[in-house]
Amino acid sequence: MSRLHAAGSLRLGVNIDHVATIRNARGGLHPDPLRAARAARDAGADGITAHLREDRRHISDLDISRLATEIDLPLNLEMAATEEMLAIALRHKPNACCIVPEKREEVTTEGGLDVAAHHRVLAPFIQRLKAAGIRVSLFVDPETVQLAVARALGADIVELHTGAYCEAQGAGRQVELDRLIAAAVEAERLGLECHAGHGLSFETVAPVAAIPQVMELNIGHFLVGEAIFSGLDRAIRRMRQLMNEARGQAGLATA
Ligand code: PXP
């Protein structure tokens, strides 16, 4: 794999949920997540990610409708496996749906989807999305059993939950990174496209970006927080640069 190819093959999906969180704090129209999506595109994002939660705490139905029709970047719609969300996805036909677990009381998506435990519910759900031409991604912890069931269910993509890696300190972080690396290798072996995300920052992104099997990172909260200090454009460009540098080094190492 050439260095250029390695760097080029890692996409950045910018999650704009927390632009909507700030907007909703006052109930008005500012800041507009669509404006953030356009700024992300101009700064080099390859896609936009948005999570429509059952309680609509950040992204709204109207945001999804506008993102699907007004933004010329692939939309990755994160959602729980409910009939309500399925109907919304089928109406808007995003490029991909990332199915996530959702607990009403959680602050954020705390863990991966237990695909193995919920395979009976997920099987028809995934089939209906795929039949509509929507790519299906499952947000999972980096565990072999989850990947095997994701493959058996016909998912196109697994997104590895990087939260435990980002939160770990000291030697524990390497342990979590090794789990991500092993899962990414296994995903590729199974023919699943591998994505990763949750909690990534300037400090934690490089080792994950350097995993050659990872094709896309989805990053939101840190970028929106960092935008307060440097602006969204600069925050995204810096993230892209760190990703490209990490990927370029990985390409050199494996060349
Ligand atoms: N990927 C998935 C599946 C998520 O649920 C989230 C959070 O909504 C992210 C990525 C982005 O995480 P963060 O906002 O911590 O960067």
Written as one string, the DSSP assignment of 159-182 is EEE-HHHHH--THHHHHHHHHHHH
Q: Which fold is adopted by the domain 11-254? A: TIM Barrel (3.20.20)
Ligand 1 center–CA 255 separation, angstroms: 31
Mean pLDDT score of the chain: 93
Closest CA to 73 of 14, 146, 158, 136: 14
pLDDT category of residue 3 using cuts at 50, 70 and 90: very low
Provide the CA 88 distance to its chain's centre, in angstroms. Answer: 19
Q: Which of 180, 218, 236, 239 maximizes ligand 1 atoms within 8 Å of its Cβ, making it the mutation to test the pocket?
A: 218
- Kindly state the average pLDDT of the residues 116-132: 96
Residue 110 has pLDDT above 80, yes or no: no
pLDDT category of residue 4 using cuts at 50, 70 and 90: very low
- Choosing from 58, 161, 195, 198, which is the catalytic residue? 198
Domain locations in the chain? 11-254
Percent of the chain whose predicted confidence (pLDDT) is above 70: 92
Token pair belonging to 21? 């969180």
Reported as a single tens digit per residue, the pLDDT across 54-107 is 999 999 999 999 999 999 999 999 999 999 999 999 999 999 999 999 876 666
User: Burial, 32: exposed, middle or buried (Cβ in 10 Å; 0-12, 13-18, 19+)?
Assistant: middle
Token pair belonging to 80? 């729980």
Output 84 or 9, whichever has higher pLDDT: 84
